[in-house]
């Protein structure tokens, strides 16, 4: 029934693969083979509590949400009479993460990603140098790379809007060294037919090579934003780099603000790439706000 629900109700969602992994990991080992009508409120409580008791509160809350949709769908299809999760509260509270890697932590990651088996090292490098979302990089296509810019169509972004990512010379060099595997268009693939989807195993290996307190791959994106802010990059430019449509670009401002910030994004990401090189070398940062970059163009900050 879970597989049927994923196929008919969730397949169109960008989060479908992550939902399936969570169901496969948490629910199927406990309930596989049981008729869905025999799974009651107590069974659901016990399952969700078992996940929460491991300290995985966020995972437990997401499992609650997925199961609630599954049972609600089953009711709508006439498979169940009632939803056993109706009015069942979620466990704990999901605290927004604010983790950003420190310079020494980021240096550890950067110095050890090259030990990961291909293509995972370059994936982590691009995540760090572009600030892009994980899915935007792991499912990257060669046809989306136009010279020194990644151009993502609207169906590949969380915002539903096309998004361009200027590539610093460092990223261009990394991409030039990547092999083309198979007849398909995917940049990061193992079998040549499908893109890489799961970084968990590589992240686990990376954790064995470094000494960093609990962190997630998504923290790299927050680290990029924090680093750009430290460089004095304007908030609107940072949001443009990240592909955000909220914050300073939401509401009525977003309706009338049509500037693409392409030039500003390029200056920002090139400054960040130089900052990353400094972090790897362990040199102290020297930032001059409102200066000019090496091309003589005025930017928000320049790292010397």
DSSP string, 101-165: --HHHHHHHHHHGGGSPTTHHHHHHHHHHH---HHHHHT-BGGGEETTEEEE-GGGSTTSS-EEE
Considering the domain architecture, whether residues 64 and 144 belong to the same structural domain is answered as: no
Identify the pLDDT of residue 96.
64
Which of these ranges, 80-94, 112-126, 200-214, 218-232, has the smallest mean pLDDT? 80-94
Considering the domain architecture, whether residues 203 and 255 belong to the same structural domain is answered as: yes
Average pLDDT rounded to a whole number, residues 91-104: 81
Considering the domain architecture, whether residues 229 and 286 belong to the same structural domain is answered as: yes
Binned at pLDDT 50, 70 and 90, residue 184 comes out as: confident
Q: Which residues contact 87 (CB under 8 A, 6 or more apart)?
A: none
**Three-state DSSP class for residue 215:** coil
Average pLDDT rounded to a whole number, residues 246-255: 48
Where does a domain end: 76, 92, 125? 76
Where does a domain end: 76, 94, 118? 76
Considering the domain architecture, whether residues 71 and 121 belong to the same structural domain is answered as: no
Considering the domain architecture, whether residues 17 and 120 belong to the same structural domain is answered as: no
Q: What is the CATH number of the domain that holds 237?
A: 1.10.443.10
In a domain, 32, yes or no: yes
Beta-carbon neighbour count of residue 113 at 10 Å? 20
Q: Roughly how many angstroms between the first and final C-alpha of the chain, as a whole number?
A: 59
Identify the pLDDT of residue 54.
84
Helix runs in 53-93, H state only: 57-76
- Enclosing domain of residue 48: 2-76
Position with higher pLDDT, 281 vs 259 = 281
Position with higher pLDDT, 215 vs 292 = 215
Which of these ranges, 177-186, 187-196, 293-302, has the smallest mean pLDDT? 293-302
Regarding pTM above 0.75, the answer is no
Residue 9 has pLDDT above 50, yes or no: yes
Identify the pLDDT of residue 82.
93
Binned at pLDDT 50, 70 and 90, residue 207 comes out as: very high
In a domain, 97, yes or no: no
Position with higher pLDDT, 159 vs 230 = 230
Considering the domain architecture, whether residues 178 and 258 belong to the same structural domain is answered as: yes
Residue 296 has pLDDT above 80, yes or no: no
Residue 243 has pLDDT above 80, yes or no: yes
Considering the domain architecture, whether residues 262 and 123 belong to the same structural domain is answered as: yes
Considering the domain architecture, whether residues 232 and 124 belong to the same structural domain is answered as: yes
Identify the pLDDT of residue 247.
52
**Three-state DSSP class for residue 15:** coil
Residue 200 has pLDDT above 90, yes or no: no
Residue 18 has pLDDT above 90, yes or no: no
In a domain, 50, yes or no: yes
């Amino acid at each position: 029934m879970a597989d049927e629900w994923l196929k008919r109700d969730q397949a169109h969602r960008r989060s479908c693969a992550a939902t399936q992994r969570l169901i496969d990991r948490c629910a199927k080992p406990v309930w596989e083979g049981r008729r869905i009508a025999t799974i009651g409120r107590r069974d659901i409580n016990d399952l969700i509590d078992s996940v929460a008791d491991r300290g995985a509160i966020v995972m437990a809350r997401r499992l609650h949400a997925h199961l609630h949709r599954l049972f609600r769908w089953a009711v709508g299809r006439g498979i169940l009479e009632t939803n056993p999760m109706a009015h069942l509260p979620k466990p704990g509270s999901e605290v927004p993460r604010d983790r950003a890697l420190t310079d020494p932590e980021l240096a550890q990651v950067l110095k050890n990603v090259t030990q990961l088996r291909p293509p995972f090292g370059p994936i982590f490098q691009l995540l760090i140098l572009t600030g892009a979302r994980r899915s935007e990089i792991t499912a990257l296509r060669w046809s989306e790379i136009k010279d020194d810019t990644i151009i993502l169509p609207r169906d590949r972004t969380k915002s539903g809007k096309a998004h361009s990512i200027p590539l610093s010379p460092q990223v261009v060099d990394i991409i030039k060294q990547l092999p083309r595997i198979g007849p398909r268009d995917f940049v990061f693939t193992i079998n040549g037919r499908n893109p890489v989807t799961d970084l968990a195993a590589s992240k686990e290996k990376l954790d064995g090579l470094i000494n960093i307190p609990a962190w997630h791959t998504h923290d790299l994106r927050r680290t990029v934003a924090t680093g750009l802010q430290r460089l004095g990059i304007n908030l609107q430019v940072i949001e443009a780099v990240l592909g955000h449509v909220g914050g300073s670009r939401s509401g009525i401002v977003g309706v009338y603000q049509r500037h693409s910030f392409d030039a500003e994004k390029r200056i920002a990401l090139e400054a960040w790439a130089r900052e990353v090189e400094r972090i790897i070398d362990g040199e102290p940062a020297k930032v001059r706000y409102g200066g000019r970059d090496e091309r003589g163009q005025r930017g928000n900050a320049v790292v010397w």
